[in-house]
A and B are shown apart, each in its own frame.
Chain A
Amino acid sequence: MTNCDQFREMYEAYALDALDPPERAALEAHLATGCAECAKAVAEARWFVSQLAYLAPEVTTPDILKGRLMQTVRSEAKSAWPVSATAATTRSGIPYWLSAGIAALMLLTLYFAWDAHRLKEELRAATEQNERNTQLVASTQQERAATQRKLSEMEEQMVNMHRETAILTDPASVKITLAAQKIQAPQMVAMWHAKYGIVLTGQKVPMPPANRVLQLWLIPKAPGGKPMPSMTVRPDANGNFVILVSNPPVAGSDTKALAITEEPAGGSAAPTTTPKWVGAMT
């Protein structure tokens, strides 16, 4: 049996993401060796799996969705990012350390823009090298994939930083102060933007025990509405953190309050402890 034989029956399930973790890890380790035969078989299986989308009952897309989306897209096309010049100055109510954070984010954005440009040049050079020397195809493709992955990571970081900056500086964002409940700890601050999501920041936050995390919950206004789980975080060594929730599970207008509880690592689907910080929507 060749090395590839043991993986032939896994291609379809891998493309479907149905392999159990040990099988998945074994196939990925094999793919990482650069096996062209298995890589091609997996790539083919991915196409067939994508066709399963047609099994979903056909439904019409709501017109309001297109209207909302096109409005955002047109507005962003007019100005690269919706942060106005006046909004770039510190708005009243934003603590000084948030302003410093925004400045740092902007500097990081410039750095990542430069680095992304450099990576694109590397990517182009790698592609040319690939064409010139067919004997090096396999290794070049691996380098290209690694560079491309890094570029994608950088671009995603840039997008997130732009988004955080927009949330923190746009006057349309709503500020929510989360006060500590029965513990000695500083308050946390959340900024909620209707389009771009929530940025939650904490400073000098007491470190949760090992294997425990802080989890954000959105408390719906609806009577009897259960808390909606959101992101989890562990503060850094100084007790600081910034998290971005780009897609809150409920709209701000439908939310009564934000709460933070301590949960097992990985988070919980429903709160298992009483909130340590709570902030009402204003």
Chain B
Amino acid sequence: MFLAAFSPKDDREASPDAALVRLLPQNDVGAFEKLYDKYSRIVYSLVLRIVQQSGPAEEIVQDVFLQLWRNSARYDAARGPFAPWLLTLARNRALDTLRLKSERQRRLENQTDELFSVVVAPQYEKELDEKRRAERVRSLVGELNPRQKRAIELAYFQGLSHREIAAELNEPLGTVKSWIRNGLIRLKEGLRTAT
């Protein structure tokens, strides 16, 4: 069964990233630098893709990593791997900037998000290195119908809802919902068969 392929919680808790994060409250600058070197490129690429301007993108990336440094307790390894947590944090910050939300609003929303922010990674997460996984994700999404790909990009990089995407693409709401769901299921299946 597919769900059986997901790794148990204890495996995730022992990840090298989680071990580095645990050193941050002891002011371990070396551990922070290792995490920055490993993830700054993907975080900056993601944020720049969303906000489209290098100045604000740099500010957001700095803010995300400073939050990690100053408040690392907010990451709980028992709730999932580190990379999705960091990428979700960066995406939310970038989308907030895009929507010009007030900081107070954002704080309230973050609290709600955190309540449900458990992430379960499939076991093959470790079998497919980051570079190969990135290539596979690009290739799988690249194979989608261009408008289906556009719908997923509008949702992920611009934070649009189903209804907003349907209006933007001038497509029926049901079509947009199917495109996004089927596209992500295809990504899921494609990543699984890549290992």
A binds B: yes
A residues within 8 Å of B by Cβ? 9, 12-13, 16-20, 28, 31, 39-40, 42-62, 65-66, 68-70, 72-74, 76-77, 145, 148-149, 151-153, 155-156, 159, 229, 231-232, 244-247, 249, 266-267, 269
* Given A45-B184, A148-B76, A53:B91 Cβ within 8 A: yes
Chain B hits for A9, CB < 8 A: 177, 181
Indicate if the CB atoms of A47 and B44 lie closer than 8 Å. Answer: no
Q: Does B18 contact A (CB under 8 A)?
A: no
Indicate if the CB atoms of A53 and B42 lie closer than 8 Å. Answer: yes
Number of A-B contacts (CB under 8 A): 188
C-alpha spacing A57/B76, complex, angstroms: 29
A-B complex: 4 closest residue pairs judged by Cβ atoms: A50-B84, A56-B49, A54-B134, A77-B27
**Chain B 155-173, CB within 8 Å of chain A: the 1/0 string?**
1110111110100000000
Q: Does B126 contact A (CB under 8 A)?
A: no
Partner of A246, one of B40, B71, B103, B137: B103
Return 7 A-B CB contacts under 8 Å, by A number.
A16-B152, A47-B119, A48-B184, A54-B42, A55-B141, A156-B71, A246-B63
Chain A hits for B152, CB < 8 A: 16, 52
Chain A hits for B157, CB < 8 A: 55-56
Indicate if the CB atoms of A19 and B65 lie closer than 8 Å. Answer: no
B residues within 8 Å of A by Cβ? 3, 6, 27, 29, 32-33, 36, 40-42, 44-46, 48-49, 54, 56, 58-63, 65-66, 69-71, 73-74, 76, 80-81, 83-84, 87-88, 91, 97, 100, 102-104, 107, 111-112, 114-122, 125, 133-134, 137-138, 141, 152-153, 155-157, 159-163, 165, 177, 180-181, 184-185, 187-188, 191
